[in-house]
Amino acid sequence: MKRGILVAWQKAAWREHYRILTLWLGVLIATLVAGPVNAESVDSDAGSAPTLLVMGDSLSAAYNIERDESWVALLEERLPEAATVVNASISGETTSGGVQRFDDLLGQHEPDIVLLELGGNDGLRGLPPQQMQANLATMIEASQAADAEVLLLGIDIPPNYGAAYREAFTTVYHDLADTYGVTLVPFLLEGIATDDALMQDDGIHPTAEAQPIILETVWDKLEGIMAPRVSAGR
């Protein structure tokens, strides 16, 4: 009787030992299998191309020209594999409108670099430069909080708005660049705005022929921002 109980107890003990050993082996195998997959996923993310978000107005939205002629489209052609370019520019956009859309765009695209080209319509409408500065500052702060580097594309307005307003307007971009340590293109239409052959009849928007010049103006600053991110795979 006692021998039967002992044998039964031994069998039960071996069954429990076998169950624990099987569970332990299952966990070990799962860990070994999952390890390379996770590593491959991390490597893939690390090697992904950086995303550029262009946040602008009609100067970046191919106003009255073919989309593939715009400087943003030309930038996409220059970076077919080195980066993903997202153009969120809208003709007529003000800095106030940009602020309202910006958080959603950051969350959706998670950009590494933000090209911020807004303010021209604020100036043309005679809106207070302090308001424009506050809106641009909000977008810069949100970008930096999301670990995105900012390239600020400055705009000028026609002389007929008066010297005082014009100076206050253009000073906004320089103040923001100094305050937040962001790279600045002082004037996006440098060498274009005063050339009638490169401006549309409205005197505000550049022609298709001007777009490659705009691209080079942007690229002069953007290349330095992109280089370390591309080499790092981000």
Q: pLDDT category, 17, cuts 50, 70, 90?
A: very low
Mean pLDDT of 55-82: 97
Choose among 95, 89, 99: nearest CA to 124: 95
Pick the CATH number of 48-231 from 3.20.20.70, 3.40.120.10, 3.40.50.1110, 3.30.70.20: 3.40.50.1110
Rg (CA), the chain: 28
Please identify which of the residues 122, 178, 202, 220 carries the catalytic annotation: 202
Please identify which of the residues 57, 58, 70, 156 carries the catalytic annotation: 58
* Residue 17 bears catalytic tag: no
* Residue 195 bears catalytic tag: no
Structure tokens, 112: 């590494």
- Contacts with 70 (C-beta within 8 Å, 6 or more apart), sequence order: 60, 61, 62, 211
43 contacts 49 by C-beta, under 8 angstroms? no
Q: 21-45: per-residue pLDDT in tens?
A: 444 444 333 333 333 333 233 333 4
Is residue 217 pLDDT above 60, yes or no?
yes
Please identify which of the residues 70, 122, 143, 205 carries the catalytic annotation: 205
Q: 95-129: per-residue pLDDT in tens?
A: 999 999 999 999 999 999 999 999 999 999 999 99
pLDDT at 111: 98
Q: What is the distance of C-alpha 13 from the center of its chain?
A: 62
* Residue 109 bears catalytic tag: no
Percentage of the residues of the chain whose pLDDT score is greater than 70: 77
Predicted structure pTM score: 0.79
131 contacts 172 by C-beta, under 8 angstroms? no
